[in-house]
Amino acid sequence: MTRKPSRRSSPTGTAPGLASPNPGSPLASLSRAAIEEREARELAPFAMKVAASRGRQHDEPEHAFRTAYMRDRDRVIHAAAFRRLEYKTQVFVNHEGDSYRTRLTHTMEVAQVARTLARALRLNEDLTEAIALSHDIGHGPFGHAGESALADLMKDHGGFEHNAHGLRNVDVLERRYASFRGLNLTYEVREAFAMHAPGDKRALGFERCRPLLEAQLVDVCDNLTYTSHDLDDGIAAGCITPEEMREAELWGATWDGVVAEHADLPRPLQVSTAVKRVLDACVSDLLAATAARIGASGVDSPEAVRAHPHLLVGYSDAFGRAQRALARRLHERFYRHPRLVRMAQKGRRFLRQIFEAYTSDPATLERPTKAWADEVGVPRAVCDHLASMTDRQALDEYRRLFTPYERA
Ligand code: MG
């Protein structure tokens, strides 16, 4: 993972089976070369252009119709770790209900909001989408409870953190391609993981700098998205009421406004109207404040963004305070709700016991994990195995290992 990224491969090569269209052909306006020209013309000076990418770790020919960032997005969507997000906890463990957000639908909401804002700010939408779709790919089962359990179990073996593990997933753990491990993503998408991982970025092969605006945008959109959808799910589940959340001014003023305006509307529609207004308010403030901050900063290239002393994507000061107050209220009332605390406790206990069962006697390991343990050591191989699991795979594994009369 510390290899130096190669420069982009020769622009004359194309992926097998897809020849570049002739310049006179009607397909020419859809070619990768045409998209790259359009980026140079239409994106803001501070946006990351794919033509300036630092490239992939393993050289590959370019695609005729998709830029490198479009291919990164598609590679993420085709990854097994991405598909498993469907059965991983966002807030509620997967079997708690079919209408709550999962890691996958959360990811889709983040990508959708981030793409809208990227377009409005004239940032690179394809890069933004690739970063957004991959941002939670390193999460294990049971959400943040699962992450804290793995971090604790791995504290003497190199640790565990979902961004660092996301990079490990796309660089090492995914096996889809004949000539390399991982997905061979571009430097810029990989850098977004490293920027949020703990510790020295240089140890992961990246320079110490600010994230690109596309990566900053995904980070704030992640926060913005879960604040509004967790309100929605929390109220739908009966864990919190709109009234008890009123103490946070951003929600309180919005809720009171909706109730005054739509007194006769059924309550679920009042809730969804208020949640939508909170989301709209966050997006509007974020867009205006970010555009103003970028303008005032004078950054005129992605390199200037990397070198800038401050992050540039964010809310206005006053709105940011209101947004954080709402997030705090969610913490007190929803994330600390006895039902969620019990779920989290169970998830942590399952992961701890499975980890201990395997690490105490590696003879219990199945062949692929056993072979991987020979390469990376038993604790890391077991951690990789656990982190790859969905909620229900972990529950099944727990039952298999610890329930009498269950076939081991
Ligand atoms: Mg997220």
Is 209 part of a structural domain of the chain? Answer: yes
The whole-number average pLDDT for the span 79-95 is 88
Answer yes or no: is 8 within a domain: no
Measured in angstroms, how far is the CA atom of residue 117 from the centroid of ligand 1?
17
**Is residue 11's pLDDT more than 90?**
no
The whole-number pLDDT of residue 9 equals 45
Residues 40-69 have pLDDT tens digits of: 999 999 999 999 999 999 999 999 999 999
Residues with CB under 5 A from ligand 1 (ion): 136, 222
Read off the pLDDT of residues 217-250 as tens digits, 9 standing for 90 and up: 999 999 999 999 999 999 999 999 999 999 999 9
pLDDT on residue 13: 52
What is the arithmetic mean of pLDDT over 367-381?
95
Mean pLDDT of 184-201: 94
Instruction: Identify whether 285 is part of a domain.
Output: yes
Tell whether 249 is covered by a domain: yes
Q: Measure 10 CA to ligand 1 centroid, in angstroms.
A: 35
Assigned domain for 59 exists: yes
110 found inside a domain = yes
Å from CA of 341 to ligand 1 middle: 20
Q: How far is the CA of 227 from the centre of ligand 1 (A)?
A: 11
Q: Between 213-236 and 187-196, two packed helices, what is the crossing angle to 10 degrees? A: 60
Q: How confident is the model at residue 99 (pLDDT cuts 50, 70, 90)?
A: confident
Distance 219 CA to ligand 1 centre (A): 8
Between the CA of 405 and the centroid of ligand 1 the distance, in Å, is 39
Ligand 1 centre distance from Cα of residue 373 (Å): 29
CA of residue 361 to ligand 1 center, whole Å: 35
For ligand 1, the distance from its centroid to the CA atom of residue 226, given in whole angstroms, is 7
pLDDT attached to residue 408:
72
122: Cα separation from own chain's centroid: 21
Instruction: Establish if 207 belongs to a structural domain.
Output: yes
Average model confidence (pLDDT) across the chain:
92
Q: How far is the CA of 325 from the centre of ligand 1 (A)?
A: 19
pLDDT of residue 41: 96
Going from the Cα of 179 to the center of ligand 1, the distance in angstroms, rounded, reads 31
Q: 3-class secondary structure for the chain? A: CCCCCCCCCCCCCECCCCCCCCCCCHHHHHCHHHHHHHHHHHCCCCCCCHHHCCCCCCCCCECCCCCHHHHHHHHHHCCHHHHHHHHCECCCCHHHCCCCCEHHHHHHHHHHHHHHHHHHCCCCHHHHHHHHHHCCCCCCCCHHHHHHHHHHHCCCCCCCCHHHHHHHHHHHHCCCCCCCCCCCCCHHHHHHHHHHCCCCHHHHCCCCCCCCHHHHHHHHHHHHHHHHHHHHHHHHCCCCCCCCCCCCHHHHHHHHHHHHHCCCCCHHHHHHHHHHHHHHHHHHHHHHHHHHHHHHHCCCCHHHHHHCCCCCCCCCHHHHHHHHHHHHHHHHHHHCCHHHHHHHHHHHHHHHHHHHHHHHCHHHCCHHHHHHHHHHCHHHHHHHHHHHCCHHHHHHHHHHHHCCCCCC
Q: Give residue 218's pLDDT.
A: 98
Question: In the prediction, which pLDDT does 16 show?
Answer: 58
Question: What's the CA-to-centroid distance between 135 and ligand 1, angstroms?
Answer: 6
Lowest mean pLDDT among 74-78, 83-87, 200-204: 200-204
For residue 225, how far is its CA from the centre of ligand 1 (angstroms)? Answer: 8
Q: Give me ligand 1 centre to Cα 305, in Å.
A: 23
CATH number of domain containing 46? 1.10.3210.10
* Residue 54, φ and ψ in degrees, nearest 5: -80, 0
Establish if 356 belongs to a structural domain: no
Alpha-carbon torsion, ordered 349, 230, 314, 322, to 10 deg: -110
Beta-bridged to residue 62, according to DSSP, are: 14
Residue-wise pLDDT tens digits, 248-292: 999 999 999 999 999 999 999 999 999 999 999 999 999 999 999
**Domain with 308 in it:** 31-339
Ligand 1 centroid to 107 CA: how many Å?
A: 6
* Separation of CA 76 and ligand 1 centre (Å): 15
Pick from 67-76, 90-99, 214-223: least confident: 90-99
- Count of domains forming the chain: 1
Residues 386 and 394: beta-carbon distance below 8 Å: yes
CA 91 to ligand 1 center in whole angstroms: 11
pLDDT tens digit sequence for 141-154: 999 999 999 999 99
- pLDDT bin (cut points 50, 70, 90) of residue 6 is very low
